[in-house]
Structure 1
Amino acid sequence: MLNQNKEITNALHVLKQGGLILYPTDTVWGIGCDATNPKAIEKIYKLKQRIDSKALICLVADDRMLKKYVKHIPQVALDIIDITETPTTIIYDDAQNLATNLVAEDGTIAIRIPDDEFCFQLTRKLNGAIVSTSANISGSPTPKSFKEIPQAILKGVDYVVNLRHDEICTKPSAIIKLSHNGVVKVIRT
């Protein structure tokens, strides 16, 4: 717990300065930044060699924080969050209060409430959303463990969280798109 608190403090410092962190999530290792900082988000696109029209996922601590970033949360989204047993990212219409280069061209945003104490505490203490994109160069396989993360990523972030380096990661989250018109579309299982 002492190590986790120290790592949260260090990561928060970097996030507040507009830097990038490499951190463990409830799914895979992620590259993260403050989701309201457009310059930090630009750095992620550049590091991943990813086109900026391909939106990124972000993490929030809870339903209350989710309401800060989505104008209308469908009831079905809250039901999915409550009943799902696997990490699930939901794409919502009408994103708000986020960096414009994080939001997709159609105004949607992909958000997950992680079941992970480190991510929960980090978002809660930042009092805001954190970008969470897999720690790989765009088009390359997602690393299944810390030791599989490419050197370019390790050298390209401002801080590497020193926790859970020995864990084997599970697969990325499922992704579901919920539209205002009630249509539910599974993007990734």
Structure 2
Amino acid sequence: MGLNHEINKTLQILKEGGLILYPTDTVWGIGCDATNEAAVKKIYELKQREDSKALICLVADDRMLKKYVNKVPEAALDIIDISEKPTTIIYDEAQNLASNLIANDGTIAIRIPDDDFCYQLSRKLNAAIVSTSANISGQPTPKSYKEITPEVLKGVDYVVNLQREKICDKPSSIIKLSNSGIVKIIRT
């Protein structure tokens, strides 16, 4: 009942279009297959959030990142390499993702997590995974599994049984990197 069991069980749920609650490299997240429009819609409904507010995706590596971003700026790879804390980058020209996941301006927020479970899950699914904080929109982000509300716990199809004692203070930094070379810090 270790890591492999959890990965296999979680993969099964994701492939069936279900929602998962899982520990990421930052906070506990609600996730689904980022290429499945119906699953993404379920996340917006659970979070009681309109789908014009884009969600973050996690991918396993640079190769997978290039599958979802038409042109990855060189600076992005440098930022990913040198960042000492989890950093999400907003890219122009998102592609091959659920259309309701992509922002109105065609951008997508993606992070390559430094977390074995998230890496293996994304790699084995061979797809990006949505990662949005495990709360109803407008409520505080839970810092630990214990702080997740019953509403969220009941709203997902599977709760990953790993790192339940982990406490996390901060979500990732967010940087917007446009193809024109403009860099904007969204969240530090």
Unmatched runs of 5 consecutive residues or more in structure 2: none
Residue in 2 that maps onto 1:103: 102
Residue in 1 that maps onto 2:148: 149
Give the AA of the match of 2:5: K
User: How many aligned residue pairs are there?
Assistant: 188
Shift of 1:170: 3.4
Give the AA of the match of 1:43: K
Other structure's SS at 1:139 match: coil
Residues 1:14 and 2:10 aligned together: no
Name the Cα RMSD after superposition.
0.6
Residue in 1 that maps onto 2:121: 122
Deviation per residue, 1:3-35 (Å, 9 max, x gap): 111000000000000000000000000000000
Shift of 1:167: 1.1
Residue in 2 that maps onto 1:177: 176
Shift of 1:48: 0.3
Residue in 1 that maps onto 2:31: 32
Residue in 2 that maps onto 1:75: 74
| Whole-Å separation in 2 of the counterparts to 1:144 and 1:16 | 28
Give the AA of the match of 1:16: K
Identity of aligned residues (%): 75
Alignment of 1:127-146 (within 5 A): 127-146=126-145
Residue in 2 that maps onto 1:51: 50
| Whole-Å separation in 1 of the counterparts to 2:82 and 2:74 | 13
| Whole-Å separation in 1 of the counterparts to 2:134 and 2:116 | 20
Unmatched runs of 5 consecutive residues or more in structure 1: none
Other structure's SS at 1:89 match: strand
Other structure's SS at 2:2 match: helix
Moved over 4 A (4+): none
Q: Under a length normalisation based on structure 1, what TM-score does the superposition of the two structures give?
A: 0.99
Other structure's SS at 1:132 match: strand
